[in-house]
Amino acid sequence: MAQTALIPISEPAPVQPQHNPAVQRCCEARERSLEFSRAKKIGNWDTEKFAAAAYCEAMPNLSGYENIRDFIACAAHGMVIRAIDRNEGPKLLYAAQVALSALRSEPKTKKEPLHSPPPPEIFSTQEDKVR
């Protein structure tokens, strides 16, 4: 078996990644649930089930770009830490994909009506014209 030599690197240490607040909120909800269940001496299977439910309940709604982005981050992280079942994870990501597609298909600005009302001068009275 080949051995790998450790070579010191003179590069600076990488910057710590920023934590997504939504993912942090989901993880904290899961941890609170785990602590509560363990304190109540609930069985391991139920403890994990309740923790997974707490994680999912803390996920953001699928409304607005930032929430959808955070939902995806939570779903992906949940699958990595096994808080979200491997069969449910793809369904959650698909739901986020559909929500994002719907968001993109919404008109960005309200369009002018095809027939706009006539300018205010047309509605002026005879008295205004005499002046």
User: Could you tell me which residue, 1 or 87, shows the higher pLDDT?
Assistant: 87
Q: Concatenated DSSP letters for 65-97?
A: HHHHHHHHHHHHHHHHTTSS-TTTHHHHHHHHH
pTM: 0.68
Among 16-25, 53-62, 80-89, 94-103, where is mean pLDDT lowest?
16-25
For 21-63, the pLDDT digits (tens) are 999 999 999 999 999 999 999 999 999 999 999 999 999 999 9
Task: Taking each helix axis as running N to C, give the angle between helix 44-57 and helix 65-80, from 0 to 180 degrees, rounded to the nearest 10.
Answer: 160
Sequence ranges of the domains in the chain: 21-105
Under a CB-based contact definition with an 8 Å cutoff, are residues 68 and 96 in contact? yes
Instruction: Supply the pLDDT for residue 34.
Output: 96
Dist. CA 101–CA 51, nearest whole Å: 30
Dist. CA 23–CA 35, nearest whole Å: 18
